[in-house]
Structures are given as structure tokens and as C-alpha cells.
Amino acid sequence: MQFVLLGFSDLPNLQGFLFAVFSVVYIIILIGNFLIILITSMDPALQKPMYFFLANFSTLEICYVSVTIPRILFDIKVEDRSISVMSCATQLCFFLVFGTTECLLLAVMSYDRYVAICNPLHYTLVMNPTKCTYLAMGSWLGGIPVQVGQTCQIFSLHFCNSNKIDHFFCDIPPILKLACEDTSVHELSVYVVMVVAALPFMLVLTSYSKIIATILRLPTAKGRAKAFSTCSSHLLVVVLFYGSATVTYLRPKSMHSPGTDKLLSLFYTIVTPMFNPLIYSLRNKEVIAALKKLFFKA
């Protein structure tokens, strides 16, 4: 009826340090993304589709990290790492749903940049408020049926090898290791879902190939620099998210080890969300101007 999340129990002398680090990181993520949500809703200069999707992305990042970090802090603080099967399934389901939402939302944001750069005269017509709302809703809701089904499939397994999950949250690879029956079908379903999740990535690549081709055709260096600056931040976030997630889930089973899995998972569940607000704010003049207006207005 219960699992035990081993987390970072193999580092007993660093529990206090880890608690402080994860607390600071969580606060940074919350403050950074909350500020982006605040300025995109209040500043008239940011009432554009690009910043509408950015506000959705920041909201998603808060939800995404809140699935894992509070549980990590709880386990470190109380040193009671037990988690019920239902709680574990719930955590995995939300983690997968929000991860799918991020894939879809990144694809939608790349489409927005494609229309803005490759078809600027029709941008306001194509990316109208109604369409933006539907695209955002589709991103939030699109992954729910698939990931709820996958979670139910995984937790329909019989677990008898052990109840100790050698990870800091309920993730698919360490859970499948505990099953006492053949998991090949479930592992195949993970690959299938990852392939489906790669479809938004294909859309991102297609959008950016056309964006780069359009930018290179611009007559002036200043125009090329301005066009590239509007999408470079998003492209960097895409590379960080998809790169770490792909290495984590598409490695052969023989290459999985608890230490490596934890390190890679830390990167795409915590480190990347911490850098995302910085990437979007420091590389965007309109966001910087809005932040200055928020903090320094008399």
C-alpha cells in the first residue's frame, strides 16, 4: 500500500544543505514566474499573443515544479519518505500531464513566432485573441487523456520486488523496476508516448527552419538581429527541455542507473524551470522595460 522515496537519503550529511538549496531554488522559480505573470497582465505594452503564451508558460512552470519540489522538501525535513500508492500515482500523473503541456505550449509559442516573423502583415488576424485562447486551452488539456491512461496502465502492475523507489519523485523508470511481471509492453508504451510528444518538437523544428530562412533573407543586419532576438530565448528553452527529457526517457534500459536518472531528472524538473524566467527576461528588452516600470515607478 506504500512506496518509499529514497530521494537523497544516501547523502545523510547534506540533508540540511539540500533543504536550503531546494528551498532557495523553489522561491526563485515562484518569484521569477510570478513576476512574468504580473507584468504580462498589467503592462499595456505586453498585451500581445507572445506574452499571453509566456504568461501561460510561467503558470505552467509553477505547477510543474510544485509537483516535485514540495515533496522533496517534505521528505528531507521529516525524514519520513513513505508515500501511498495513490499519492505516487497522482504525482506521476500530474508530472506527465504538465510535461506534455510544456511540449504542446512550446510548439504553440514557436508557431506564434513563425507567424510574427514569416507572415507579419497577417499576424494580428491569424493570432487573434480567440485563436490564442483555443491554442492555450488545447495545450493545457491535450495531454490529459493520454497521460491519465498511461498512469493507470503503469499502476495496474503488481509490485513485489521492493517498495523502495530510488528516486526523489515518482517517475516511470524507477517505478517499472519494482514490478514483478514483464514490463516490456509498458516500456514500449513509454517510447510510443515519447514519439507522440516528439510531434510538437517536429513542429518547433519546422517553424524555426522557416524562421531562420526568413531572417537570413532580411536586407539589414539590424533587422536580422532584431528578428532573431524575438525567438532566441524560446529556442534556448526548447533545447534545454527537450534535450534533457530525451536523454532521460529514450536511453536504453541498460544505461539507466539511479544516480544518472536523478541527475538528469534534476536538470529538466528543477534547473531548467529556474533558468527559464531569467532567459526570457534578460534577453527581452520589453520584459526588462516592464520590470523596471514595475519596480521603479514613482
Domain count, the chain: 1
- Contact (Cβ atoms closer than 8 angstroms) between residue 2 and residue 83: yes
Domain extent for 35: 2-296
4: phi then psi, degrees, rounded to nearest 5:
-125, 120
pLDDT at 118: 86
pLDDT at 26: 94
Amino acid at site 187: E
pLDDT at 89: 92
Q: What's the grid cell of residue 185?
A: 509492453
Q: Rounded CA gap, 140 and 219, in Å?
A: 39
pLDDT at 68: 92
Q: Rounded CA gap, 43 and 24, in Å?
A: 28
Which CATH number does the domain housing residue 52 bear? 1.20.1070.10
pLDDT in tens, the chain (298 residues): 788 888 887 777 888 898 999 999 999 999 989 999 998 998 888 889 989 998 999 999 999 999 999 998 988 888 778 889 899 999 999 999 998 898 899 889 889 988 988 888 889 999 999 999 999 999 999 888 888 888 888 888 888 767 888 888 888 888 888 888 777 777 777 777 777 677 888 888 888 888 888 888 877 777 677 667 667 777 777 777 777 777 766 666 666 666 677 777 887 788 888 887 777 776 677 788 888 888 876 4
Write down the pTM of the prediction.
0.87
pLDDT at 131: 94
pLDDT at 188: 74
pLDDT at 10: 77
Q: Rounded CA gap, 248 and 252, in Å?
A: 10
pLDDT at 283: 64
pLDDT at 275: 80
Contacts of 284 (CB under 8 A, 6+ apart): 229, 233
Contacts of 229-233 with C-beta under 8 Å, sequence gap 24+, read: 229/283, 229/284, 229/285, 230/50, 230/113, 230/116, 230/117, 231/110, 231/113, 231/117, 232/283, 233/279, 233/280, 233/283, 233/284
